[in-house]
Copies of this chain bind each other. A is one copy, B any other.
Amino acid sequence: MTQDKQYAVGIDLGGTKILAAIVDQDGDIHSQGKIATQPQDGDQAVIRRIGDLVQDVWEQSGIGTDRICGIGIATAGIIDTVRQKVIYASNLNWNDVRIGDRMNERFGVPVELINDANAAAVAERTFGNARGTDDLIYVTVSTGVGAGIICGGRLITGVGDSAGEFGHISIHPEGPFCACGNRGCLENYVSGLALAKKAQALLKAGAESSLSAVGGGERDAITARDIGEAAENGDKLSIELLTQAGYFLGIGLTNLIHLFNPQVLVFGGGVIKNGRLLVEAAEQVIRERCISRMAKQASIQISTMEDTAGVLGAAGMFFQAERKKLAI
């Protein structure tokens, strides 16, 4: 072990934008950059663009190539962490894209792919409030609902790297049909999209709310962020919507606690940022319904990382004291 600091590149690859950062082993970001993804240009163009971005932030940081231990890429969709390729990503319109090989050819350092919710879990455990915890679950509520799960110090990935589909656990056997094939999926009760749709439907049915002024009265423009802001300003309909979604989230979380017995639950994602009420309602369900010994063992926290969780987690994979414990 050398006393010199170690660094890694973290990339957060989304359908709209790509973030890259040079991160050190303490979680400090030394340089960073952001570009538009423009997936319509095709996978090879996007990969070239990511490469250029990495080169930029790397040069900007002034850190020697010999001190970068790897490039981590956090992305949504179905990935293969052994072959370092994206099997399928709807937001990028990618099918079977070997991004790992391409980045490795260009930069000559190890490349690791990681699911974005898993990256956030690694970030929280490596650099965040859950530092040192071996059993934590990161729950994200944004457009959709997902989870990154670490048990006994290791990421739960499953045989096909697809574990953690928390948004697609059923909480009602005859609930609404979901695009995934299941019924009563949590995502249909709790996500930003579900909240917005519910608000739109209620307004259409004549409900009174300050939301009716949003977007110049254009109902389709209402987002979960609007609902969160309206709730903070006392709008009854918005408060009711968030409380109800939180009730369902609490049911899902109780299931997670009973299955994983975590020490820490960390909440992140856009809907959480503007929807503190949602977490409060969920916490109440946990207090009421969870096996009390397990509820007491699970500390509930709000992520303080937000936008940097992806790059920190992607880079963080290279800094685990016992790395093999986390990587598959």
Contacts and interface: CB of A to CB of B under 8 A. Distances in A.
B171 A328 contact: no
Contacts of A152: 154-157, 328
Interface in A135-174: 135, 147, 149, 151-152, 154-166, 168-173
Contacts of A151: 151, 154, 156-158, 163
Contact of A158 (B135, B166, B248): B135
A293 B163 CA distance: 12
Contact of A258 (B155, B168, B248, B254): B168
A221 to B, nearest CB: 31
Interface stretch (A2-10, A93-101, A260-268): A260-268
Given A181-B288, A290-B181, A170 B171 contact: yes
Interface of A: 78, 134-135, 147, 149, 151-152, 154-166, 168-173, 180-183, 247-248, 251, 254-256, 258-263, 288-294, 297, 328
8 contacts: A134-B159, A135-B158, A157-B261, A162-B291, A170-B289, A173-B247, A181-B288, A181-B292
